[in-house]
Amino acid sequence: MRLALYQPDIPQNCGALIRLGACFGVGLDIIEPCGFLFSDAKLRRAGMDYLELAEVVRHASWQAFLDSRAAGRLVLLTTKAVQTYVDFSFCSSDVLVLGQESQGVPSYVHQAADARLRIPLKARSLNVAQAGAIVLAEALRQTKGFP
Protein backbone atom coordinates (compact mmCIF):
# COMPACT_ATOMS: atom_id res chain seq x y z
CA MET A 1 0.00 0.00 0.00
CA ARG A 2 1.23 3.48 -0.88
CA LEU A 3 -0.01 7.05 -0.93
CA ALA A 4 0.64 9.27 -3.95
CA LEU A 5 0.25 13.03 -3.80
CA TYR A 6 -0.27 14.69 -7.18
CA GLN A 7 1.43 18.10 -7.44
CA PRO A 8 0.81 19.17 -3.83
CA ASP A 9 0.27 22.87 -3.30
CA ILE A 10 0.00 23.15 0.50
CA PRO A 11 3.19 22.21 2.36
CA GLN A 12 1.43 21.57 5.67
CA ASN A 13 -0.78 18.88 4.12
CA CYS A 14 2.18 17.29 2.36
CA GLY A 15 4.02 17.24 5.69
CA ALA A 16 1.01 15.70 7.42
CA LEU A 17 0.87 12.95 4.78
CA ILE A 18 4.59 12.27 5.19
CA ARG A 19 3.96 11.93 8.92
CA LEU A 20 0.96 9.65 8.28
CA GLY A 21 3.03 7.41 6.01
CA ALA A 22 5.85 7.23 8.55
CA CYS A 23 3.46 6.28 11.37
CA PHE A 24 1.77 3.50 9.39
CA GLY A 25 4.81 2.30 7.46
CA VAL A 26 3.29 3.35 4.13
CA GLY A 27 5.43 4.90 1.41
CA LEU A 28 4.53 8.26 -0.13
CA ASP A 29 5.07 9.20 -3.77
CA ILE A 30 5.20 12.94 -4.41
CA ILE A 31 4.45 13.78 -8.02
CA GLU A 32 5.98 17.12 -8.90
CA PRO A 33 5.97 19.97 -9.54
CA CYS A 34 5.03 21.05 -6.03
CA GLY A 35 3.47 24.44 -5.35
CA PHE A 36 6.18 25.09 -2.73
CA LEU A 37 9.87 24.43 -2.21
CA PHE A 38 10.26 20.91 -0.89
CA SER A 39 12.61 22.23 1.79
CA ASP A 40 9.96 24.76 2.86
CA ALA A 41 9.90 25.42 6.63
CA LYS A 42 6.14 24.79 6.71
CA LEU A 43 6.67 21.31 5.26
CA ARG A 44 9.39 20.55 7.83
CA ARG A 45 7.22 21.84 10.68
CA ALA A 46 4.24 19.70 9.61
CA GLY A 47 6.39 16.62 9.06
CA MET A 48 8.33 17.23 12.26
CA ASP A 49 10.95 14.57 12.95
CA TYR A 50 8.93 12.02 10.95
CA LEU A 51 10.55 13.18 7.71
CA GLU A 52 13.58 11.01 8.44
CA LEU A 53 11.37 7.98 9.22
CA ALA A 54 9.22 8.23 6.10
CA GLU A 55 9.73 6.51 2.77
CA VAL A 56 9.26 9.38 0.34
CA VAL A 57 9.90 9.06 -3.39
CA ARG A 58 9.78 12.19 -5.50
CA HIS A 59 8.84 11.97 -9.19
CA ALA A 60 9.53 14.76 -11.68
CA SER A 61 6.17 14.27 -13.44
CA TRP A 62 3.07 12.10 -13.70
CA GLN A 63 4.71 10.08 -16.47
CA ALA A 64 7.84 9.54 -14.37
CA PHE A 65 5.61 8.26 -11.56
CA LEU A 66 3.81 5.86 -13.91
CA ASP A 67 7.10 4.63 -15.39
CA SER A 68 8.65 3.83 -12.02
CA ARG A 69 5.77 2.46 -9.96
CA ALA A 70 5.29 -1.16 -9.07
CA ALA A 71 2.23 -3.15 -10.09
CA GLY A 72 -0.99 -2.37 -8.29
CA ARG A 73 -4.16 -0.41 -8.78
CA LEU A 74 -4.30 3.36 -8.82
CA VAL A 75 -7.16 4.34 -6.52
CA LEU A 76 -8.04 8.00 -6.90
CA LEU A 77 -9.75 9.83 -4.04
CA THR A 78 -12.00 12.44 -5.60
CA THR A 79 -15.16 14.36 -4.83
CA LYS A 80 -16.29 13.50 -8.39
CA ALA A 81 -16.56 9.74 -7.76
CA VAL A 82 -19.82 7.85 -7.47
CA GLN A 83 -18.46 4.92 -5.43
CA THR A 84 -17.62 5.49 -1.76
CA TYR A 85 -14.51 4.14 -0.08
CA VAL A 86 -16.62 2.13 2.38
CA ASP A 87 -18.07 0.12 -0.52
CA PHE A 88 -14.68 -0.73 -2.02
CA SER A 89 -12.46 -3.78 -1.51
CA PHE A 90 -8.87 -2.66 -1.13
CA CYS A 91 -5.76 -4.69 -1.98
CA SER A 92 -2.41 -4.42 -0.22
CA SER A 93 -0.79 -3.31 -3.50
CA ASP A 94 -3.15 -0.34 -4.03
CA VAL A 95 -1.78 3.17 -4.47
CA LEU A 96 -4.12 5.81 -3.04
CA VAL A 97 -3.83 8.92 -5.21
CA LEU A 98 -4.63 12.34 -3.75
CA GLY A 99 -4.92 15.51 -5.80
CA GLN A 100 -4.12 19.15 -5.26
CA GLU A 101 -6.14 21.04 -2.67
CA SER A 102 -6.86 23.80 -5.16
CA GLN A 103 -7.69 21.82 -8.32
CA GLY A 104 -7.84 18.08 -7.70
CA VAL A 105 -6.29 16.20 -10.62
CA PRO A 106 -6.53 16.62 -14.40
CA SER A 107 -8.59 14.32 -16.61
CA TYR A 108 -5.58 12.16 -17.62
CA VAL A 109 -5.10 11.18 -13.96
CA HIS A 110 -8.82 10.34 -13.68
CA GLN A 111 -8.53 8.21 -16.81
CA ALA A 112 -5.45 6.37 -15.52
CA ALA A 113 -7.15 5.46 -12.23
CA ASP A 114 -8.38 1.90 -11.83
CA ALA A 115 -10.94 3.11 -9.29
CA ARG A 116 -12.31 6.48 -8.20
CA LEU A 117 -13.62 6.81 -4.65
CA ARG A 118 -15.21 9.51 -2.54
CA ILE A 119 -15.81 10.00 1.15
CA PRO A 120 -19.53 10.53 1.86
CA LEU A 121 -19.84 13.99 3.43
CA LYS A 122 -22.50 16.55 4.31
CA ALA A 123 -20.21 19.45 3.39
CA ARG A 124 -18.09 19.95 0.28
CA SER A 125 -14.78 18.28 1.15
CA LEU A 126 -11.97 17.63 3.62
CA ASN A 127 -8.37 18.59 3.08
CA VAL A 128 -6.23 15.98 1.36
CA ALA A 129 -4.35 14.96 4.51
CA GLN A 130 -7.60 14.22 6.35
CA ALA A 131 -9.06 12.39 3.35
CA GLY A 132 -5.88 10.37 2.93
CA ALA A 133 -5.88 9.37 6.60
CA ILE A 134 -9.52 8.27 6.56
CA VAL A 135 -9.23 6.12 3.45
CA LEU A 136 -5.78 4.76 4.30
CA ALA A 137 -7.06 3.58 7.69
CA GLU A 138 -9.91 1.68 6.04
CA ALA A 139 -7.60 0.23 3.38
CA LEU A 140 -5.14 -0.95 6.04
CA ARG A 141 -7.98 -2.37 8.14
CA GLN A 142 -9.33 -4.37 5.19
CA THR A 143 -5.92 -5.68 4.16
CA LYS A 144 -4.71 -6.29 7.73
CA GLY A 145 -1.85 -3.91 6.96
CA PHE A 146 -1.58 -2.00 10.22
CA PRO A 147 1.91 -2.11 11.70
- Torsion sign, CA atoms 91, 123, 24, 60: positive
Give the C-alpha separation, 62 to 122, whole Å: 32
Give the pLDDT band (50/70/90) at residue 129. very high
| SS3 call for 2 | strand
Q: Answer yes or no: CATH 3.40.1280.10 is held by domain 2-143.
A: yes
| SS3 call for 57 | strand
| SS3 call for 127 | coil
Q: Give 34's contacts (C-beta < 8 A, 6+ positions apart).
A: 7, 8, 9, 11, 14
Q: What is the pLDDT of residues 24-69, one digit of tens each?
A: 999 999 999 987 766 656 556 655 567 778 898 999 999 999 999 9
